Amino acid sequence: MVIWENNKALEQILQSELSKLTQEEGLEPERVYEGLDQGSMVVLGNPSHPHLRPLIIGQPARVKVNANLGTSPLNNCLNTEMDKVAAALAAGTDTIMDLSTAGDLDAIRQKMLEACPLPVGTVPIYAVGKSLLDSERDVAAMKADELFDEIAKQCRQGVDFITVHCGLSKRGAELALEQNRVLGIVSRGGSMLARWMVENNQENPLLADFDRLLAIVKPYNVTLSLGDGLRPGACADAGDAAQWEEVINLGQLAKYAHTRGVQCMIEGPGHMPLNLVQGQIQGIKRLTNNAPLYVLGPLVCDSTPGYDHIAGAIGGAIGVLNGVDFLCYLTPAEHLTLPDVEDVRAGVMASRVAAHAGELALGRQRALAREARMNHARKNLDWEGMAKEAVDPELLQKRRQSHKNEEVCAMCGKFCSVKMLRDIKIN
């Protein structure tokens, strides 16, 4: 049975939206059906999300960009978060994730779902962790029911995709903690589950009771973003046994979920040096049967706090060239503090640069056509035309403000190489 026959919510979305989606992507409907059938594409969209615009993720569909938003215990203001939603949308993000860990989480999530017509993702274990930490209980005291109930509530609210660390087994956690990793487990959800498993000497409920999870999310077409709780948090930790043990699990879970009518994406690393990116991405795609790969970075060095959006764009571009489908942004605030509105903008833009560079290297028609139009405008010193094609038209206009009536730019002035050779005739 093909997946859309086994997932009524998905089938309805395809019936009403597929022709619009395929037109936007420049893909034939058959290509999308094939991708969905093979599990190499997903269509994000929970019918309970008001004003939702569904989204295809999975190459050769356009590579998408996600912006992580949300409160934290040290920075907790709903209005600021709503400003960040607006900034992320204006900067051209394709999805947002609400990673709030402070304040009234249900209310924040509801507000974000109302304000954002793009798919919205969450990490439900944060809400469970918050209630434990707020009451000064150990996260090991979590009941599995609390986690499943939270997931069910968020599905009803309209969340479109959720990060669930189902592949994080007790064995994987022990490998990560035993192996003298430089930085152990750096995923927040992953570290909570690892603590829970070790302290309770029990398997991860999201893995042990995976069928229960599938039954909860399927009626809402909530896509599982299978989290990488054991992703390396330092370049020196990249590619160890713990990481691959989890990737193997993620591939098996995604395949199983697909047969049960639930769409899955795979979350990927993480910190890794530049020379490992190609092999890691290709390895993960192989082990997960080419399911859509959603990466955080990859971040190609550890010592660049304040510039991790750049280090992440380096890894992200190479990642896209090797099969990454979906880039989670890193902002200049990564490893330091909660991103502010400017960080959100910078993060989305850096990820869009990486996505475009990767797609250009893949020879995607849309990327090539954009470059051709940009270069045509550049050759004609047509600044309006350049602004139209630029990744950030607003910034281009702003930087041109002081000399907007000049034909040339303020770097070269009359030394403009384009003007220098305009009237040259070769015999």
Site for a second copy in 309-368 (CB under 8 A): 309-311, 313-314, 317-318, 321, 332-339, 349-350, 353-354, 356-358, 360-362, 367-368
> What gap in Å lies between CA 350 and CA 365, rounded to an integer?
21
Stretch that binds a second copy, among 57-65, 181-189, 203-211, 253-261 (CB under 8 A): 181-189
Question: 11-50: which residues touch a second copy (CB under 8 A)?
Answer: none
Measured CA to CA, the distance from residue 303 to residue 82 in angstroms comes to 31
Site for a second copy in 83-102 (CB under 8 A): 101-102
Pairwise CA distance, residues 269 & 280, whole Å = 9
Q: Does 150 bind a second copy (CB under 8 A)?
A: no
- The verdict on 304 binding a second copy (CB under 8 A) reads yes
In angstroms, what CA-CA distances link 356 with 180, 211, 275, 360?
Answer: 38, 38, 21, 6
Nearest approach in angstroms of CB 418 to a second copy is 7
DSSP string, 220-252: GTPEEEE--TT--SSGGGTT-HHHHHHHHHHHH
Q: Is the Cβ of residue 208 or residue 391 nearer to a second copy in the bound state?
A: 391
List binders of a second copy among 100-129 (CB under 8 A): 101-102, 126, 129
CB 113 within 8 A of CB 80: no
**Tokens at 320, concatenated:** 């896209």
- Is the peptide bond between 158 and the residue preceding it cis, with omega within 30 degrees of 0? no
DSSP 159: -
H/E stretch holding 122: strand 120-122
Q: Which of 82, 115, 208, 234 binds a second copy (CB under 8 A)?
A: 234
Q: Is 186 in the site for a second copy (CB under 8 A)?
A: yes
Q: How far is the CB of 204 from a second copy (least distance, A)?
A: 15
Q: Which is nearer to a second copy, 187 or 223 (CB)?
A: 187
Site for a second copy in 374-403 (CB under 8 A): 374-376, 378-379, 386, 389-392, 395-396, 399-400, 402-403
For residues 247 and 350, which CB has a smaller minimum distance to a second copy in the complex?
350
In angstroms, give the least distance from the CB of 67 to a second copy.
14
Residue 417 binds a second copy, judged by CB under 8 A: yes
- In angstroms, the CA 284 to CA 248 distance is 8
CB of 261 vs a second copy, minimal distance in Å: 33
Applying CB under 8 A, which of residues 174, 203, 209, 240 lies at the interface with a second copy?
174
CB neighbourhood size of 279 (10 A):
12
Q: How far is the CB of 105 from a second copy (least distance, A)?
A: 13
In 3D space, the residue among 345, 323, 305 whose CA is nearest the CA of residue 265 turns out to be 323
